[in-house]
Amino acid sequence: MRIAFLIGALLLCQPEQAGIHAQIEAVARKARGRVGVSCSAPGTTVDCDYNASEKFPMQSVYKLPIAMAALDAIEHGKFALASEVRFLPSDLISPDQRSPLRDAHPKANVEVRIDELLKLALVESDGVASDILLRQVGGPTGADKYIRSLGIDEIRIANTEKELGRDDGLQYRNYATPRAVVSLLRRLADDSPLSREHTAMLLNWMTITETGPRRLKGKLPNGTVVAHKTGTSGQNRAVTNATNDVGLISLPNGKRLAIAVFVVDSSAPENVREAVIADIAYDVWVSASHQP
């Protein structure tokens, strides 16, 4: 009887999965570029994989694994949240790259606490803050090694924000597959490699982030909790190389949907690119919410 029930449940799920894939494909065409999607929700069969094993430039999405590497270093006694680090003139990044820290201290030469750097990197996607944290964990090599230690092999951290600002082509070296990012998000949600305190701190910063209000969150019901990290490139000859958002979205049953949506090399305007992410997130959220 149990086997028959499971087979029946699987057959019932197949049309629903076909439906969500068709919805994602239809929405993705509007991007006029390359779109990658992956998701996971505990206790459901939701499957939204769409180019999920392809490589996409992360842009500022990579600030999430960098922040995790910094918190891991804290837990191993290398420095503390209250430790102060010098913001050096050599840390300054291109004027067209986002950095509230640089805007507040255009000549640099100030001490900044590690917890403030983490908050700036995650809440305001501050490039200078991210680079200073990266320096503390041994540069891109150190952060990349940390992510690999978690058993996640399809996320690559190869360059600093400063280097990315000097050469657009480098962003394709700092890549992730949507599936790998979802694996990282699931670790945070279900079996975090960080302490309970640091995990809660990290997710809180991701929840109050000021970036991307019209992406994953754009069409979800009011009050839906979204802990996320965006990534955005500049434009290159009327093509935007990366418009991304990844995160954990609360479901009505209290569980969390992990989702990653990447829009790459798109000729569509910003409002369309962001609407693509919002529409996909909403469709997946509905599908996951309606499963037992």
Across all residues in the chain, what is the average pLDDT? 93
Mean pLDDT of 186-194: 98
Whether 7 is in a domain gets the answer no
Q: What is the pLDDT of residue 103?
A: 98
**How far, in Å, CA of 281 to CA of 275, rounded?**
10
Whether 234 is in a domain gets the answer yes
Whether 1 is in a domain gets the answer no
pLDDT > 60? residue 4: no
Per-residue confidence band for 11, with pLDDT thresholds at 50, 70 and 90: very low
112: left (phi over 0), alpha (psi -120 to 50) or beta: beta
Torsion of CA 92, 214, 185, 168, to 10 degrees: -40
Domain count for the chain, please give it. 1
Residue 90 annotated in active site: no
The distance in angstroms from the start CA to the end CA of the chain is 19
Choice between 14 and 156, residue whose per-residue pLDDT is larger: 156
Q: What is the pLDDT of residue 13?
A: 47
Whether 50 is in a domain gets the answer yes
Q: What is the pLDDT of residue 19?
A: 84
> Which residue among the candidates 38, 40, 60, 287 is catalytic per the annotation?
60
Q: What is the pLDDT of residue 6?
A: 34
Tell me the per-residue pLDDT of 48-57, one tens digit each, with 9 for 90 and over.
999 999 999 9
DSSP labels, 111-141: EEEHHHHHHHHHHS--HHHHHHHHHHTTHHH
pLDDT > 90? residue 243: yes
Of how many residues is the chain composed? Answer: 292
Mean pLDDT of 243-261: 97
Per-residue confidence band for 210, with pLDDT thresholds at 50, 70 and 90: confident
pLDDT > 60? residue 10: no
**How far, in Å, CA of 259 to CA of 249, rounded?**
8
CB-CB neighbours of 266 under 10 Å: 22
The percent of residues above 90 in pLDDT, for the chain, comes to 89
Tell me the per-residue pLDDT of 157-166, one tens digit each, with 9 for 90 and over.
999 999 999 9
pLDDT > 50? residue 8: no
**What tokens were used for 119?**
């908050």
pLDDT > 70? residue 291: yes
Mean pLDDT of 268-275: 97
Residue numbers of the domain that contains 192: 16-289
**How far, in Å, CA of 241 to CA of 172, rounded?**
9
Half-sphere exposure of 214 (CA within 13 A, CB side): 8
Whether 8 is in a domain gets the answer no
Whether 5 is in a domain gets the answer no
The owner of tokens 């076909």 is 18
Q: What is the pLDDT of residue 17?
A: 62
Whether 10 is in a domain gets the answer no
CATH of the domain at 187: 3.40.710.10
Cβ proximity of 54 and 180 under 8 Å: no
Whether 255 is in a domain gets the answer yes
**Torsions phi, psi for 186 (to 5 deg):** -65, -40
Cβ contacts of 137 within 8 Å, gap of 6 or more:
66, 69, 70, 73, 143, 146
